[in-house]
Structure 1
């Protein structure tokens, strides 16, 4: 007999992490999305203890989901919707990354040949320094990667910290990132931690086979990224000239007519970074992207078995759809019904799409 895990919802002060209340949940869904904020929605009784304007303040209250007592999702309460007729209130939250979408380099920012990990740690340290009004994100597990980056954004661009992180992640030789909640002090204080992994570091831990341990609900194919030749342009050097890098894919050119792609990166000023962008575009454009979506069979897996960025093997043999390939988990969605029944859904994309990073 499958034991249904107990889900709990914890509210806390976003600026301090201090726990406010444990909220009773009648329905819950949460997603974790690769290199993005993710989201959570929960329905709680309108008159439950802890459901007050002071303790549930949009933008100032954090929410953490516990599964069997273990933190599994965390983020920021942004909107609420009260249903007085039903006597419920729906809480809508997004991941901690949304905080950094609201933090900007108002004086500009320059990094010259700095390790990826060092750049990330410095940005978070500055965003959470005393007086910065931050959320105390922990970066103790972000190590140097050995990959150097150079970036320059003027104060007029007013680049956000979140967008800067995404820009580094999208490089050829970039990384996957995520935020995880944890108990900074068991039961009384919540923390949030930033983690990165190399795009080629994940190994396939599971094989998902249609109608054996999952139900593949659909597969879409996207050829818009196919690229026989790519031309990348950087920022204007104030003299009317822009750095330019091109790359080609002769193998694909032998199969299809020419399909040029032109990309402009207004924040890239050096050739090396531009060359990485071109390499990423060629890698991504080698073949159409296959995007399977599937639901795991109940009781066979835990949500923690599939994190965004993980690699999994998918096998399908159903008419046109014949897959036996490795895919990267791009999103994990968990829906918990009022009965406590848990449904886990995954969205995936070709592993090759991430081997050299995205084009941004």
Structure 2
């Protein structure tokens, strides 16, 4: 086990740090707008059965001075032959995907970050206006919660919408946002801070250069999800059902790149506003506007950048030459970071998405 890693566990409900785990192997994944998993192996003889129960504890992975991952223990498995236990954890966001909106919540021209904060505090974390609403009181927010984008949103109690799903849906519309939960020591406690960033990614000057600071062993170009016509349906039935269309007409008509029409239909039954449906349709067109060039990136162990230097949602440049010829050169957003540590060796892989999918593409023009 590399010396710069520690695995800490704390009581979920109070945040009180209980101790450190003797770990022989670990892996974790950081994902934008999602709860990436983690797995840690501990000697069975050192397994604390009384404390390490699913949803009772939070597990944190610390690399050097940074806490790079945190989330609840949700399951564990026992290997009696090798006398080890493997703990299966999910990122802290998973808890907020398990809470529902239990009272009507209506927002008119509120910043989308403020809507997210209110939903989380009122219906999930237990720090909002419904003080009786049981929650771990685990989250803090910083100034990034002011995104500058105003939204109208109505959530009715009878819809039984989950808090996490409501946030993820709002993040996924045009001019939405990325979010993640960062973890850091503050005094003797670990603070979990919700941070927002633009969906196009946070700019950095980081360049991932094949053969210099990383390996890019392969890349794929995938047009499976390309779209030039997007239809998103909302509430209602038959002829009264709401719907919004968005088109990428230049992709169909520009002689230098034209392709036949490719359609996609998405259902959003809980949406009753036309502008919200249009925002979803715009995003479908943006994501399907170009073939997706996806390079596989593996960082060099023990050098910069390392897994503590990159977070999901940042913009990077990826570049690769073969035989002196530039075969890959583009702007990408990091969406997933995967780290595996075993036998003292660290392996870090990055998943990148081209920056083009976050551009403003197409129009509502009739076909």
Answer whether TM exceeds 0.5 for this pair: yes
Please report how far the alpha carbon of residue 321 of structure 1 lies from its aligned counterpart in structure 2 after TM superposition: 9.3
Q: Deviations over 1:11-64 (max 9, x none)?
A: 11001100111111111111101110011111111122xx32221011111001
SS, match of residue 218 in structure 1? strand
The answer to whether the 8 Å contact 1:316/1:324 transfers is yes
Matched, 1:102 2:98: yes
Please state how far the C-alpha of 1:294 moved relative to its aligned partner: 1.3
Give the aligned partner of residue 208 of structure 2: 208
> How many aligned positions are there?
348
The residue correspondences of 1:330-341 to structure 2 (distance < 5 A) are: 330-339=335-344, 341=345
Whether the 8 Å contact between 1:15 and 1:133 is mirrored in structure 2 is no
Q: 1:322 is matched with which residue?
A: 327
2:348 aligned with 1:344? yes
1:84 matched to which residue of 2? 80
Q: Per-residue deviation at 1:5?
A: 5.2
Give the equivalent residue in structure 2 for 1:171. Answer: 173
> Aligned residue for 2:57?
61
Instruction: Report Cα offsets for 1:269-319 as digits up to 9, x if no partner.
Output: 112212212221222222111222211112222212211111111112459
Deviation of 1:151 after TM superposition, in Å, equals 2.5
What is the aligned partner in structure 2 of residue 308 from structure 1? 312
Taking structure 2 as the reference length, the TM-score comes to 0.88
Q: Distance in 1 between matches of 2:4 and 2:65?
A: 8
- Output one character per residue of 1:38-97: Cα deviation in whole Å (capped at 9) or x when no partner: 11111111122xx32221011111001111143121101011111122121111110111
User: Comparing 137-146 with 57-66, which one deviates more in the overlay?
Assistant: 137-146
Instruction: Return the alpha-carbon distance in structure 2 between the equivalents of residues 80 and 321 of structure 1.
Output: 46
1:241 aligns with 2:240: yes
1:131 is matched with 132
5+ unaligned residues in a row in structure 2: which ranges?
Answer: 362-367
3-state DSSP of counterpart to 2:6: strand
Alignment of 1:114-193 (within 5 A): 114-126=110-122, 127=124, 128-129=126-127, 130-136=131-137, 137-186=139-188, 189-193=189-193
Contact 1:26 1:42 in 2 (8 A): yes
Query: What's the C-alpha RMSD, in Å, of the aligned pairs?
Result: 2.2
Match of 2:20 among 10, 19, 22: 22
Partner of 2:195: 195
Pair 1:5–1:294, CA change in 2 (3 A): farther
1:212 is displaced (CA, Å) by 2.4
Contact 1:233 1:274 in 2 (8 A): yes
Inter-partner Cα distance in structure 2 for 1:218 and 1:269: 44
Contact preservation (8 Å) 2:144, 2:197: no
Q: Secondary structure at the match of 2:140?
A: coil
What is the distance in 2 between the residues matched to 1:135 and 1:163?
19
Question: Deviations along 1:179-200, whole A, 9 cap, x unmatched?
Answer: 12222432xx333221111124
Distance 1:239 1:13, change over 3 A: same
Mapped contact 1:153–1:267 kept (Cα < 8 A): no
